[in-house]
Amino acid sequence: MLKSIRIRAAIVILLCLAALVYLAPSLSTSLPESWKKYLPMDKIHLGLDLQGGMHLVLEVDSAKAVESTLARSINDLKENMMEKRIRFKLTTNAAGGNAAFEFPDAPARDAFDDLLAKQYPDLEVASSGAVEGKGIATVKIKDKRALEIKKMAVEQSLETIRNRVDQFGVTEPEIIPQGTDRIIVQLPGIKDTTRAKSLIGRTALLEFKLVDEENSLDEALKGNIPEGDVIASESRLDRTSGRRNEIPLLLKNRTLMSGDALESAKVQIGDRFGEPHVSIKFNSQGATEFERITGENVKKRLAIVLDGVVHSAPVIQEKIAGGEAQITGSFTMEEASDLAIVLRAGALPAPVTILEERTVGPSLGQDSIDKGTWASIIAGILVLLFMIAYYKATGLIADVALTMNMLLLLGVMVAFKATLTLPGIAGIVLTIGMAVDANVLINERIKEELRLSKTPRAAIEAGYKKAFLTIFDSNVTTLVAALFLFGFGTGPVKGFAVTLTIGILVSMFTAVFVTRILFDYFVWNRKIEKISI
């Protein structure tokens, strides 16, 4: 029996030492270098309500994703019809989710219908008719496919935002969908909210387009924009005044290449002015395509367009092999770093709008921590005193288990990188009550057995046996409720569920396993003849 007590005591001591090791970085800021090198350095992660941060509700404009998909399909359809020599005129290009074609005669319209049915299963004719002898057909994406695209747009936006936030270095972010087209983002510890919003909300659609140097920019600015062209602005920094100027450029509307083939993006410092720029590299397929594009357009200007803004439009001096390019634009280091992050994470499939923004100040969080800590300390001290006053020496055993319960609970939270929130502190206080409740059950059963004139050893044996099922039943039902809260809850509710779940498991261990070691030690080793209870 004594061997069993030693083994069980060794297990408890090892667990307590492990908990202390994990808690040490949270308790002290002056740990030795050897500790930092070999032992855990994570502190208790604090939630948004405790350390401050930002709460955003975003709405994904999923209709834009449908419109973009239609625009790409219509461009492909146009090129296909030109190759097959089908005569047509595009009168409306994907505006409002519809594209309208005009056909000069019936054979052209029949050829269009045949092509649409065979090669574009996602498109359908929404309406058709004739005006002045010419056939008119309005095309749209099928309703079922449009719903799929909207759903995918939200899912892809969620993943893209998560990737961006992860690369931004935010610890324990909360990024979850809400409803059909909304996303909730919680970023604990964020202080530069403007930068964070810019990082999350940027679409980051990277395109490469040729500058139209054949047609007049002045005429285009007067409203005479050539067909297939678009006016864009290039943002340039005036090094003498420090002001940014918007320079208009006439671009070919056709996108030669997009950021889909991007393999990496990183910040580098330029040799000439010492300014940061973003160096991008394409995958093998993208590199081949980039080499072809640059080879076919030597001595022409290739504009690098991000979210409709031209960042640079250099002249292609020669065919560029290797699939590498640079995005310059007089960036600050932070701007270049954020741009590299959004390019690596990929473009959002549709624009997002910030519907709600709340910022929790760190001072409010510190106030919550202080009050929650004092509430836990006062609750703990009162419980410790009550147990000693009511159960005497046996109450001390329960107090040892309760103290160990807090130590193991916080240690496990650090080890599993769980986040402590304000409701989580409430969960800890509740755990204190549940841990004591288990000890009360055990002590009362032991007292009942002692009243039957049983020996201390027999009373302890019977007391634990009878109390265990009740303790197990009540804790398991609470544990099931906590797991459901964790599975279906969000934010603060989940924080409460996390501490409650860990607290229940730890309190069962300390109340049943740890206290039994102490009782067994005094009964077997000290051979006590009377229990102070």
Alpha-carbon gap, residue 423 to 23, rounded angstroms? 21
| E strand or H helix that includes residue 306 | strand 302-306
- Output the average pLDDT for the chain: 83
Q: Where are the beta strands (DSSP E) in 307-449?
A: 309-312, 324-327, 352-360, 419-420
* Side-chain half-sphere exposure of 488, counting CA atoms within 13 A: 5
pLDDT given at position 11: 92
Question: Greater confidence, 261 or 481?
Answer: 481
Q: pLDDT band at 484, cuts 50/70/90?
A: confident
Return the SS3 of 234. Answer: strand
pLDDT given at position 10: 92
What mean pLDDT do residues 371-376 have? 78
* Side-chain half-sphere exposure of 259, counting CA atoms within 13 A: 25
Q: What is the pLDDT of residues 493-514, one digit of tens each?
A: 777 888 888 988 998 888 888 8
Per-residue pLDDT at 159 exceeds 90: no
Q: Where are the beta strands (DSSP E) in 361-465?
A: 419-420
The CA-atom distances, in angstroms, between 360 and each of 190, 304, 523 are 9, 38, 54
Are 340 and 265 a contacting pair, CB within 8 Å? yes
pLDDT given at position 170: 74
Are 235 and 196 a contacting pair, CB within 8 Å? no
Per-residue pLDDT at 8 exceeds 80: yes
Alpha-carbon gap, residue 233 to 244, rounded angstroms? 12
SS percent in the chain: helix, strand, coil, step 5: 55, 20, 25
Backbone CA torsion sign across 73, 74, 77, 78: negative
Question: Greater confidence, 333 or 70?
Answer: 70
Per-residue pLDDT at 14 exceeds 90: yes
Alpha-carbon gap, residue 533 to 449, rounded angstroms? 12
Beta bridge partner(s), residue 276: 269
Per-residue pLDDT at 522 exceeds 70: yes
Return the SS3 of 136. Answer: strand
DSSP 8-state secondary structure symbol assigned to residue 332: -
Beta bridge partner(s), residue 438: none
Alpha-carbon gap, residue 513 to 301, rounded angstroms? 76
How many CB atoms are closer than 10 A to CB 531? Answer: 23
Q: What are phi and psi of 278, to 5 degrees?
A: -105, 120
Q: For the chain, give the number of residues.
A: 533
Alpha-carbon gap, residue 341 to 204, rounded angstroms? 10
Q: What is the pLDDT of residues 38-69, one digit of tens each?
A: 888 888 877 777 777 888 899 998 888 888 88
pLDDT given at position 36: 79
Over pLDDT 70: what percentage of the chain? 94
Per-residue pLDDT at 288 exceeds 60: yes
How many CB atoms are closer than 10 A to CB 288? Answer: 14
Q: What are phi and psi of 88, to 5 degrees?
A: -160, 170
What mean pLDDT do residues 307-312 have? 81
pLDDT given at position 31: 81
Per-residue pLDDT at 313 exceeds 80: yes
What mean pLDDT do residues 350-375 have? 76
DSSP 8-state secondary structure symbol assigned to residue 349: S
Per-residue pLDDT at 240 exceeds 70: no
How many CB atoms are closer than 10 A to CB 90? Answer: 17
Q: What are phi and psi of 361, to 5 degrees?
A: -70, 145
pLDDT given at position 358: 81
pLDDT given at position 365: 61
DSSP string, 417-436: TPEE-HHHHHHHHHHHHHHH
Range of weakest confidence among 8-12, 13-17, 482-486: 482-486
Alpha-carbon gap, residue 351 to 160, rounded angstroms? 12
Question: Greater confidence, 58 or 373?
Answer: 58
pLDDT given at position 19: 92
Q: What is the pLDDT of residues 408-463, one digit of tens each?
A: 999 998 888 887 887 888 888 888 888 888 888 898 998 888 888 888 888 888 88
What mean pLDDT do residues 197-213 have? 84
pLDDT given at position 238: 67
DSSP 8-state secondary structure symbol assigned to residue 211: B
